[in-house]
Structure 1
């Protein structure tokens, strides 16, 4: 079985696990832990995301962040993400894959990135939707200077080991409703 097939199987299981806990009221505890995990970074530029499907919701944490906040924008297949400034009042338009993006495309460079996912493991690796956008983006950001990547997920999304290849970027930590797990 190829790595792509193995990842596809892992994604199917991960979608089901995430869907099973979505809407169960666990977001608030995870959001409190995310707020605490971000506190040491002060007003550093932050990128979050506007949730789609059954993703855990970081928006309340993003809205309370004291510094600039951006959200990811897909520029095209095979490219890293761009980040555009976001506020809770920002006008949004439909972006690729159903994600909303700010109508005004003012770019920003995050120092901390909140990363969505389907699954994660104890090594700090994540399984995304398969486009490689965050892996390319984290590689680019890390090459330019220090950046902290924090995954945000439900405990139920943890797998024994997510399948990885040479392009997968590990996260520095993952925040769930149980707290922060640091890896790097």
Structure 2
């Protein structure tokens, strides 16, 4: 494990403070918009996002006050895409992805989220819908601190071309996300108000 430095400690403190601030803002947005946001991001994504090279798309099962991607996942499934959900296999490791479809049984995972049961096939996604706490206009994302999506995107981008589309409420946008060298940028950002593409962001 790398030794702690004043710079690392400051960055960690900045991220922790931002997580607390944005989680509160996300809760307010969720209370106001949760009934309409899921269909809004569905329609925006289907209108704006290229999907021809993405036969396998990773969604996520919403946790706490995360914006709900299930209307979009269901629509993509109906269009013939194979939908997978992320599974934490162990600490400090990339995520695995298990096949999901409407009505598929789910089980509670170690971090409290719901995932397909262990018998579901594992597939590598070509496009990922990525949850978060905060994002900025450069494609930087602030997650929950486990680094799972950063490790996963680094691994997948080393193997093939993949797209990472962040999904969040517009209220989660911030001027700048504190960034470490290991943080992976998003290719695009989807909120209930629109979709933004980032240039040169597959890194």
When the two structures are superposed, what TM-score results if normalisation uses the length of structure 2? 0.86
Stretch deviating more after TM superposition (148-157 or 43-52): 43-52
Task: Structure 2 unaligned segments of length 5 or more: list them.
Answer: 1-8
State the Cα deviation string for residues 43-85 of structure 1 (Å, max 9, x = none).
6210000000000000111111121000000011100000000
Alpha-carbon distance in 1 for matches of 2:124, 2:187: 18
Q: Which residue of 1 aligns with 2:185?
A: 170
Bigger Cα Rg: 2
Say which structure, 1 or 2, has more relative contact order (CA 8 Å, 6+ apart).
1
Select the residue among 130, 136, 152 that pairs with 1:137.
152
Tell me, yes or no, if the aligned pair for 2:41 and 2:72 is still in contact at 8 Å: no
Tell me, yes or no, if the aligned pair for 2:94 and 2:152 is still in contact at 8 Å: yes
Alpha-carbon distance in 2 for matches of 1:35, 1:41: 9
Select the residue among 7, 14, 23 that pairs with 1:6.
14
Alpha-carbon distance in 1 for matches of 2:153, 2:164: 8
Alpha-carbon distance in 1 for matches of 2:111, 2:138: 28
In the alignment, does 2:70 pair up with 1:59? yes
Give the SS at the match of 1:56: coil
C-alpha displacement of 1:90? 0.7
State the Cα deviation string for residues 125-166 of structure 1 (Å, max 9, x = none).
110000000000000010001000000011100000011101
| RMSD (Å) for aligned C-alpha atoms | 1.3
Give the SS at the match of 1:135: helix
Task: Structure 1 unaligned segments of length 5 or more: list them.
Answer: none
Give the SS at the match of 1:33: helix
Runs of 4+ in structure 1 deviating by more than 3 angstroms, as ranges, are: none
C-alpha displacement of 1:2? 1.8
In the alignment, does 2:105 pair up with 1:91? yes
Aligned length: 183
